[in-house]
Amino acid sequence: MDLTGKVAIVTGAGRGIGRAISIGLANNGCKVILAARTESQLKEVEKEISSNGGQAAGVPIDLSQKGSCRLLVESALDHYGTLDVLINNAAVLFATGYLEITEEEWDRVMDINLKAPFLLSQAALKVMKKNRSGYIINISSTAALQVPVSLTTYGTSQKGLID
């Protein structure tokens, strides 16, 4: 697949699935905005991509903070002039039973796993609509299909993401 000249944002790009997606996109010619909370992880992914001839820019960001989603889309525009793909991959979970989870933990999970993809998609769609082109991909979990008791909050957020 040739993605030469395309620009993508990948959340949760510092490790795991997000890292693999970012590297795969870059290996196929895509310019990637790497988003995650941990700057050192972003620098490692950025270095790996650039050592293979790709282009990537790490943006350390906490998606639960108001305005972060808008700033992330603005970063894509500042670095590369456009946005073609948004991959909502970032997620947090607390392995806490339903009766033990705190309101703060619930809010954190919902802010990162459900609210941020919504807000990022809105911000990205403004650019994509203007360009008359674009893709938004939401990465979810099988926890959305059968929620373990210890992952009630996480499973709920993942189900909300796919519905």
Active site residues: 154
Phi/psi region, residue 53 (left: phi>0; alpha: psi -120 to 50; beta: rest), is left
Rounded CA gap, 141 and 147, in Å?
Answer: 10
Residue type (1 letter), 15: R
DSSP string for 11-43: ETTTSHHHHHHHHHHHHTT-EEEEEES-HHHHH
